[in-house]
């Protein structure tokens, strides 16, 4: 980037960039949300993100949503790095698998973010699709105890945030924007000529296990340089490593600091961090609170569900088994190896 200061960057990010904010990693053994949900009375842990289960019992998702709702967490250094790149006019796009909206909270503009797995920013009816403002859902979360849920005034079905559940399609903006951006990448390479403005794609904090997001890196044109910052080499970087790939085994916040230093942008970065009141109080206790709340739910559902139906659901979940991703970049892991 130093030799190529006008080059724009596309980021592809996962849960690893948010673990330092105290947001539970949905996958890591021991710290992952599913692991902790497994000992609860849900018929199976992923049920909390299953539309059919939500329809029969919305309470677990409401409880989880209350904890994860935007505003409860603060962005990490890496999120503010995205803002810095935007300020320097070198940010082309951020593709995120996270539903925590911390990219927005860090100040990244709406048109530069693609929330591949949706967000709390919109709500819709699971029956007829009628769109509702997020407030209708959020207002319910404040009630104690939560018992009546948001219902559609047209068809009476439940209303839920536009977070992508298992078996649901990704937002149209995901594939549409990626189509345009990959075209842009191809154009940039062919027109870079004498004054190279070669674009860069940086993949951070994701285990690249959840499709279709995980297929993005292999769709990057071969002449575009790819960077992976993750505690482990994953996905297409492992399966089809390219000679030009740069792989960094590092935590995303450390990676952000190093990039800022190498680019000589420390002063501007400090300004952003100071303006935001410094870093958040990164507490792992929030995960325990979530688990505690879920433990106190009465989930009669599990007794009524036949084993047959469970099997079917688990099959369907195969290959699309998490709303969040990035297990291998968990802050609890001891595998960090700096390069
Ligand atoms: Zn409806």
| pLDDT beyond 60 at 211 | yes
309 φψ region: left (φ > 0), alpha (ψ -120 to 50), beta (else): alpha
Of residues 334 and 26, the one with the higher pLDDT is: 26
| pLDDT beyond 60 at 330 | no
- Give the tens place of pLDDT for each residue, 246-260: 999 999 999 999 999
Q: Is 117 a catalytic residue?
A: yes
Cα dihedral 267→272→274→279 (10° resolution): -120
Q: How far is the CA of 240 from the centre of ligand 1 (A)?
A: 45
The residue-averaged pLDDT of 290-298 equals 54
Top-ranked range on mean pLDDT: pick from 19-28, 52-61, 232-241: 232-241
Q: Which residues surround ligand 1, an ion (CB under 5 A)?
A: 125, 127-128, 130, 152, 154-155, 157
Per the CB < 8 A criterion, the answer to whether 158 and 55 are in contact is: yes
pLDDT of residue 329: 41
Of residues 110 and 198, the one with the higher pLDDT is: 110
| pLDDT beyond 50 at 226 | yes
Of residues 49 and 6, the one with the higher pLDDT is: 49
The residue-averaged pLDDT of 49-77 equals 85
Q: How far is the CA of 149 from the centre of ligand 1 (A)?
A: 13
What is the percent of the chain where pLDDT is above 70? 73
Q: How far is the CA of 211 from the centre of ligand 1 (A)?
A: 28
pLDDT of residue 27: 55
| Residue ranges of E strands in the chain | 9-13, 91-96, 113-115, 118-125, 131-132, 159-163, 200-204, 225-229, 246-248
Q: How far is the CA of 157 from the centre of ligand 1 (A)?
A: 5
Q: Which residue in the list 117, 124, 292, 304 is annotated as catalytic?
A: 117
Q: How far is the CA of 154 from the centre of ligand 1 (A)?
A: 5
pLDDT of residue 19: 85
The residue-averaged pLDDT of 136-156 equals 87
pLDDT of residue 293: 58
Whole-number mean pLDDT of the chain? Answer: 80
pLDDT of residue 153: 96
pLDDT of residue 41: 64
Nearest to 133 by CA among 154, 107, 159: 159
pLDDT of residue 143: 80
Of residues 150 and 67, the one with the higher pLDDT is: 150
Q: How far is the CA of 125 from the centre of ligand 1 (A)?
A: 5
**Buried/exposed code over 262-274 (b: 16+ C-beta within 10 A; e: otherwise):** ebebeeebeebbe
pLDDT of residue 233: 96
| pLDDT beyond 80 at 202 | yes
Q: How far is the CA of 224 from the centre of ligand 1 (A)?
A: 45
Nearest to 218 by CA among 4, 51, 12: 12
């Amino acid at each position: 980037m130093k030799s190529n200061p006008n080059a724009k960057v596309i980021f592809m990010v996962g849960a690893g960039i948010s673990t330092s904010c105290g947001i539970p990693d949905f996958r890591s053994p021991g710290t992952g949300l599913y692991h902790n949900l497994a000992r609860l009375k849900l018929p199976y842990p992923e049920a909390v993100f299953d539309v059919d289960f939500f329809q029969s019992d919305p309470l677990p998702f409401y409880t989880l949503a209350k904890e994860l709702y935007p505003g409860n967490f603060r962005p990490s250094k890496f999120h503010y790095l995205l803002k810095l790149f935007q300020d320097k006019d070198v940010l082309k796009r951020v593709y995120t698998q996270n539903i925590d909206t911390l990219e927005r909270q860090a100040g990244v503009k709406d048109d530069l973010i693609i929330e591949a797995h949706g967000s709390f920013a919109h709500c819709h009816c699971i029956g007829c699709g009628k769109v509702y403002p997020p407030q209708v859902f959020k207002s319910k979360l404040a009630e104690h105890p939560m018992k009546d849920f948001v219902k559609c005034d047209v068809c009476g079905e439940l209303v839920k945030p536009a977070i992508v559940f298992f078996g649901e399609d990704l937002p149209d903006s995901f594939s549409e924007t990626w189509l345009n951006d990959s075209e842009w990448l191809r154009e940039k390479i062919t027109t870079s000529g004498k004054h190279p403005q070669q674009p860069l794609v940086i993949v951070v904090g994701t285990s690249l296990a959840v499709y279709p997001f995980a297929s993005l890196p292999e769709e990057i044109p071969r002449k575009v340089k790819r960077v992976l910052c993750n505690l482990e080499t994953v996905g297409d970087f492992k399966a089809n490593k390219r000679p030009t790939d740069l792989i960094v085994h590092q935590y995303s916040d450390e990676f952000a600091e190093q990039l800022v230093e190498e680019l000589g942008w420390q002063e501007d970065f400090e300004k952003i961090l100071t303006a935001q009141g410094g870093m958040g109080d990164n507490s792992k206790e929030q995960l325990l609170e979530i688990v505690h709340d879920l433990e106190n739910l009465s989930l009669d559902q599990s007794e009524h569900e036949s084993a047959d139906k469970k099997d079917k659901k688990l099959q369907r979940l195969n290959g699309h088994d998490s709303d969040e991703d990035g297990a291998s970049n968990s802050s609890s892991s001891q595998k960090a190896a700096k390069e």
